[in-house]
């Protein structure tokens, strides 16, 4: 296989191009809304969720254009959650990926609406015939994404996160559940999307689902470690934000060494879950190893 960084960059280029085609063009009275949507969608980032979609789709030889639409829908959903999480009432973040956050670049009302419209756009993209000829496949994608994004998924996880910051009491079970909801469900959707698009077997669907569960938690532990040990020049974030906010994390509870060991154990399990696939799944295996060793 090609080098992982090359694959990630290729995927990001494909998905960025697809998102550009799917995002509305600013032209009418509501142009400001579309500008805000585009501003946040073009802020860069590793496009890790789109990568999972494209790679899981490749396992089933899904048409790349179809996969890129689903990858774009996931990234629209992810971007909407970042815009809303950054709002003053939530995490109150002035910057995101080194640029002003959406509500700082525009204003709060526009940022709320841009997030709302991006969520609607994600479903609109999945529902369109261009995403897959079979409506049963499209509705399955809508169903899984809506569950991953809603009260029993991303929104529920963000609610627990906010409540935890207020009272600060969290044990390792509670944090695991929080992260499975907040970020894990969207990783899981991204990983199984290929099996849905390619009408894969139940066995391959479950393999990708289990992969994503472990992958997501390892990703989060690595994130917590970077907050403690990362190089601010590479992460683009000051060190120790979680601790300063009094936030319980995998690292604050387990300590850095045990957290790191746990992350590597999870990645071994994630890779193990992929054993039903041949070397076509190597980019997913590589991505899993990269996620815990990354420096940004």
Residues that bind its own copies (CB under 8 A): 24, 28-30, 32-34, 37, 80, 84, 87, 89-90, 107-110, 112-113, 115-117, 119-121, 123-124, 126-128, 135-136, 138-139, 142-143, 145-147, 149-153, 155-160, 162-163, 174, 177-178, 181
Strands (E), the chain: 95-96, 99-100
Complex with its own copies: residue 60 or 123, whichever CB lies closer: 123
Minimum Å distance from CB 153 to its own copies? 8
Q: What is the closest distance, in whole angstroms, from the C-beta atom of residue 100 to its own copies in the complex?
A: 16
Report whether 270 contacts 190 (CB < 8 A).
Answer: no
User: In angstroms, what is the minimal distance from the CB of 157 to its own copies?
Assistant: 8
Q: Which is nearer to its own copies, 188 or 281 (CB)?
A: 188
Rg over CA atoms, the chain: 18
Query: Smaller CB distance to its own copies: residue 127 or 228?
Result: 127
CA–CA separation, 110 and 209 (whole Å): 35
Residue placing its CB nearer to its own copies in the complex, 3 or 134: 134
Distance CA 257, CA 116 (A): 40
For 20-49, letters b (16+ CB in 10 Å) and e give eebbeeeeeeeeebbbbbbbbbebebbbbb
Helices (H) and strands (E) counted in the chain, each on its own, are 16, 2
Q: How far is the CB of 294 from its own copies (least distance, A)?
A: 29
Which lies closer to its own copies via its Cβ, residue 160 or residue 276?
Answer: 160
Nearest approach in angstroms of CB 159 to its own copies is 4
Q: Which of 165, 171, 212, 176 is nearest to 193 (CA)?
A: 212
Q: How far is the CB of 148 from its own copies (least distance, A)?
A: 9
SS3 21: helix
The answer to whether 197 and 62 are in contact (CB under 8 A) is: yes
Phi, psi (5° rounding) for residue 96? -150, 120
- 13 vs 162, which CB is nearer to its own copies? 162
- DSSP, collapsed to helix, strand or coil, labels residue 126 as helix
DSSP 182: I
State which residue, 163 or 261, has the beta carbon closest to its own copies. 163
Going by C-alpha positions, the residue among 113, 118, 120, 186 that lies closest to residue 156 is: 186
DSSP letter at 95? E
- Rank residues 167 and 233 by Cβ distance to its own copies and give the closer one: 167
In Å, the largest CA–CA distance within the chain is 54
Shortest Cβ 93–its own copies spacing (Å) = 13
Nearest distance in Å: CB 149, its own copies: 4
């Amino acid at each position: 296989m090609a080098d992982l960084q090359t694959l990630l960059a290729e995927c990001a280029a494909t998905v960025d191009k697809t998102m550009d085609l799917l995002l509305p063009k600013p032209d009418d009275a509501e142009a400001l809304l579309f500008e805000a949507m585009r501003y946040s969608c073009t802020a860069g980032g590793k496009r890790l969720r789109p990568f999972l979609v494209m790679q899981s789709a490749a396992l089933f030889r899904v048409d790349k254009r179809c996969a890129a639409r689903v990858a774009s829908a996931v990234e629209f959903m992810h971007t909407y959650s970042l815009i809303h999480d950054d709002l003053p009432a939530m995490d109150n973040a002035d910057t995101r990926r080194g640029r002003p956050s959406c509500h700082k670049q525009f204003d709060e009302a526009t940022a709320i609406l841009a997030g709302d419209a991006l969520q609607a756009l994600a479903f609109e993209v999945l529902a369109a015939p261009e995403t897959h000829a079979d409506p049963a496949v499209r509705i399955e994608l809508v169903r899984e994404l809506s569950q991953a994004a809603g009260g029993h998924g991303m929104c529920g996880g963000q609610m627990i996160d906010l409540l935890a910051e207020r009272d600060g009491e969290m044990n390792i079970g509670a944090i695991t559940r929080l992260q499975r909801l907040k970020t894990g469900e969207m990783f899981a959707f991204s990983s199984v999307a290929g099996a849905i698009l390619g009408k894969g077997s139940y066995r391959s669907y479950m393999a990708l689902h289990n992969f994503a569960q472990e992958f997501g938690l390892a990703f989060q532990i690595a994130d917590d470690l970077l907050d403690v040990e990362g190089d601010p020049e590479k992460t683009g974030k000051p060190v120790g934000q979680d601790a300063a906010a009094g936030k319980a994390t995998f690292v604050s509870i387990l300590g850095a060494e045990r957290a790191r060991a746990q992350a590597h154990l999870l990645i071994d399990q994630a890779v193990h879950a992929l054993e039903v696939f041949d070397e076509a799944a190597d980019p997913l295996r590589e991505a899993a190893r990269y996620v815990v060793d990354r420096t940004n």
